[in-house]
Amino acid sequence: MPSTFAWGVNRRRGARRAAALALGISLLVSPLAAAPAPAPAGHPNIVLLVADDWGFSDVGSFGAGYATPNIDALARAGVRFSNFHVSGSCSPTRAMLQTGVMNHRSGLGNMPETIPPEHVGKPGYDTVMNHRVVTIAEMLGAAGYRTYFTGKWHLGSDATRLPGARGYDRAFSLADAGADNFEQRPIEGMYDEARWTEDGKPATLPKNYYSSRFVVDKMIDYIDSGAASGRPFLASVNFLANHIPVQAPDSDIARYSAMYHDGWTALREARARRAAELGIVPAGAPRVTMATTPDWSKLSKDERKAAARVMQAYAGMASAMDREVGRLVAHLKATGQYENTVFVFLSDNGPEPTDPYNRLRNRIFLNLAYDTSFANIGRRNSLSAIGPGWASAAASPLSGYKFSAAEGGLRVPLIIAWPGNGRVRASVISNGFAHVTDIVPTLAELAGVPLHGGTWNGRAVEPVAGRSLVPMLEGMDGSVHGDAPLGYELSGNAALFRGDYKLVRNLPPTGDGQWRLYNIRTDPGETQDLAAAMPDRFAAMQADYRSFAKENGVLDMPPGYTADAQINRYAWEQQGRKRAIQAGAVLAAIVAVLIALIRVWRRRRKAPKR
């Protein structure tokens, strides 16, 4: 077997030669053993834990009332970022997380499910992660890291865009936005199949599959399979929890059976109080009631009972995911790798407000496709969703939720911990502004790996836009972004961050299309519009946004566009294609039978009579 040093020298050429050589030397002096050995000092393992559709206060250490003890333990071991921002939807966030490049420049100006037809094919609107960006897996892999991916990908499904083609040595991934959590089944009405692949080839899920357990099982297998190499690893674990369909094991749902009967407004208030007590938001920070939040008191007894059950399933799904995080952490402790592992936990966007049953045709279809009885809410063969009411509580005390550019859509929990290294502080809350594009440069610095300078393997690529958060991890007050402007847009909802201030515009149904100005440090709930009180800042930040939009090729949305309506259109178009294919197959079969019968009839006519 070739030595680790030889592997390190020959792995890469050019700009990465020095980094690979340095890593190879450090690996050489770390003796190989039958059991997994700690990674070399200075080159930590990295574990990315990506939750799906978790709101700002959906973690115990951010204010949730359900159990997330393992994620909370990582919070105690590291830094909680209370002013961390992502995209309002999953794929744009995931592209920025993988590359450190803004979503339009990485190809995710919109997603396949939400892009209007007028934008299809336009620059920046590829709806997949383009080939002009370099992933964190490619960067770390070039420096000698093992790279693994499990769970939701949703950044492209062709052979050149699956994780294995974007730098991951091993990958078991889902190409779609979501899928069933108990079986290999798509979200009915959205997709024809659940497109799981392993290392680029179609894959079959095990019979005892549950999504959160499986993605951790598979990641542990990958980590262990390469442990003998002695090389550090990047492990990107991408959970389906808590994306629609909300599903959890019965025991996890049952543990919350006494909760949530007071409704979403009471929960929103309780979470706001806990977040303030924890120091996540300023004490007494005001909050709004979203116009789309239904009045709990006007629901019937049966409606309230069913709604409470959905939230019990949601809490159970979160706790089930947390348990799997704990199992992965326990495995790393048992194999001596925990203390030299950097952990990053985040959600890809705010909580999902979409109610799949809000249209008659949807209800008819879904009642045929699933068991929608009360007893089956959150269980196998169910399609449950928390809707805007509980989503307002999951985002508490913020305004808005997924798809919007309000804080409830863009501000999510972030935890970064490096338990065995004093460089990253423990049990600390950082209130400075941070952005998802900052994760790549942060991890590169912690790993001792240089960022590419806008070229990769001899070709020009998009430069990393984010800034390393290491100064904030080490004790810096405020933000590494200072007063520099940072723009954002998705589906017409837009924002411009600068210092403590945020310029924001939300289209209907979550807004009115007007620009507003907030101090999100003191007013994270976006309750006091400062546009009139600060006209100069308001005008300057509007100019900053126009510059961002021009530089990033942002397109105006067609009149009347909403993400929710486009998702429904996409689903019914998908079903229309599916039904057309099925009808065509049936018609072809009928024609084939008729042709066969005609041929038989003709043969019989021509046959000589006896």
pTM above 0.85, yes or no: yes
Can you tell me the distance from the alpha carbon of 119 to that of 240, in angstroms, rounded to the nearest whole number?
A: 28
Question: What's the domain range around 588?
Answer: 571-610
What pLDDT, in 10s, does the model give residues 309-331? Answer: 999 999 999 999 999 999 999 99
Q: Please give the pLDDT value at position 609.
A: 60
Decide if 356 is inside a domain: yes
Q: Please give the pLDDT value at position 32.
A: 33
The tally of CA atoms less than 13 A away on the side-chain side of residue 578 is 12
Decide if 561 is inside a domain: no
Query: Please, what is the average pLDDT of the chain?
Result: 91
Kindly state whether residues 525 and 441 are assigned to the same domain. no
Kindly state whether residues 542 and 575 are assigned to the same domain. no
Kindly state whether residues 440 and 366 are assigned to the same domain. yes
What pLDDT, in 10s, does the model give residues 497-531? Answer: 999 999 999 998 889 999 999 999 999 999 999 99
Can you tell me the distance from the alpha carbon of 35 to that of 44, in angstroms, rounded to the nearest whole number?
A: 18
Residue 398 has pLDDT above 70, yes or no: yes
Kindly state whether residues 203 and 259 are assigned to the same domain. yes
What pLDDT, in 10s, does the model give residues 266-290? Answer: 999 999 999 999 999 999 999 999 9
Question: By percentage, how much of the chain surpasses pLDDT 90?
Answer: 83
Q: Which of 293-297, 310-314, 466-470, 581-585 has the lowest mean pLDDT?
A: 581-585
Q: Please give the pLDDT value at position 600.
A: 77
Residue 220 has pLDDT above 80, yes or no: yes
CB atoms within 10 A of CB 286: 14
In contact, 53 and 397? CB cutoff 8 Å: no
Number of domains present in the structure of the chain: 3
Decide if 560 is inside a domain: no
Rg (CA), the chain: 25
pLDDT range class, residue 418, cuts 50, 70, 90: very high
Decide if 565 is inside a domain: no
Kindly state whether residues 507 and 591 are assigned to the same domain. no
Decide if 481 is inside a domain: no
Can you tell me the distance from the alpha carbon of 228 to that of 561, in angstroms, rounded to the nearest whole number?
A: 53
pLDDT range class, residue 236, cuts 50, 70, 90: very high
What pLDDT, in 10s, does the model give residues 333-381? Answer: 999 999 999 999 999 999 999 999 998 999 999 999 999 999 999 999 9
Kindly state whether residues 358 and 436 are assigned to the same domain. yes
CATH at 526:
3.30.1120.10
Q: Please give the pLDDT value at position 586.
A: 62
Q: Please give the pLDDT value at position 580.
A: 54
Kindly state whether residues 465 and 500 are assigned to the same domain. no
Q: Which of 2-16, 546-560, 582-596 has the lowest mean pLDDT?
A: 2-16
Kindly state whether residues 580 and 465 are assigned to the same domain. no
Which among 389, 404, 388, 593 has a CA at the least distance from the CA of 489?
Answer: 404
Provide the annotated active-site residues: 90, 154
Q: Please give the pLDDT value at position 15.
A: 35
Kindly state whether residues 317 and 445 are assigned to the same domain. yes
In contact, 200 and 162? CB cutoff 8 Å: yes
Kindly state whether residues 606 and 544 are assigned to the same domain. no
What pLDDT, in 10s, does the model give residues 530-565? Answer: 999 999 999 999 999 999 999 999 999 999 898 878
Q: Please give the pLDDT value at position 578.
A: 55
Mean pLDDT, residues 180-194: 96
Q: Which of 28-37, 419-428, 441-450, 473-482 has the lowest mean pLDDT?
A: 28-37
Residue 26 has pLDDT above 70, yes or no: no
CATH at 261:
3.40.720.10
Kindly state whether residues 298 and 367 are assigned to the same domain. yes
Residue 249 has pLDDT above 90, yes or no: yes
pLDDT range class, residue 596, cuts 50, 70, 90: confident
What pLDDT, in 10s, does the model give residues 139-159? Answer: 999 999 999 999 999 999 999
Question: By percentage, how much of the chain surpasses pLDDT 70?
Answer: 90
Decide if 480 is inside a domain: no
Q: Please give the pLDDT value at position 13.
A: 35
pLDDT range class, residue 594, cuts 50, 70, 90: confident
Kindly state whether residues 577 and 541 are assigned to the same domain. no
Decide if 39 is inside a domain: no
Question: Hey, what's the torsion of the CAs at 507, 413, 180, 585, to 10 degrees?
Answer: 40
What pLDDT, in 10s, does the model give residues 378-391? Answer: 999 999 999 999 99
Residue 51 has pLDDT above 70, yes or no: yes
pLDDT range class, residue 7, cuts 50, 70, 90: very low
Burial class (CB in 10 A: 0-12, 13-18, 19+), 17: middle
Helix (H) or strand (E) holding 150: strand 146-152
Q: Please give the pLDDT value at position 568.
A: 84
| Strand partners for 460 | 455
* DSSP states of 363-416: HHHHHHHS--SGGGTTSTT-----HHHHHHHHTTTSS--TTSSSHHHHB--EEE
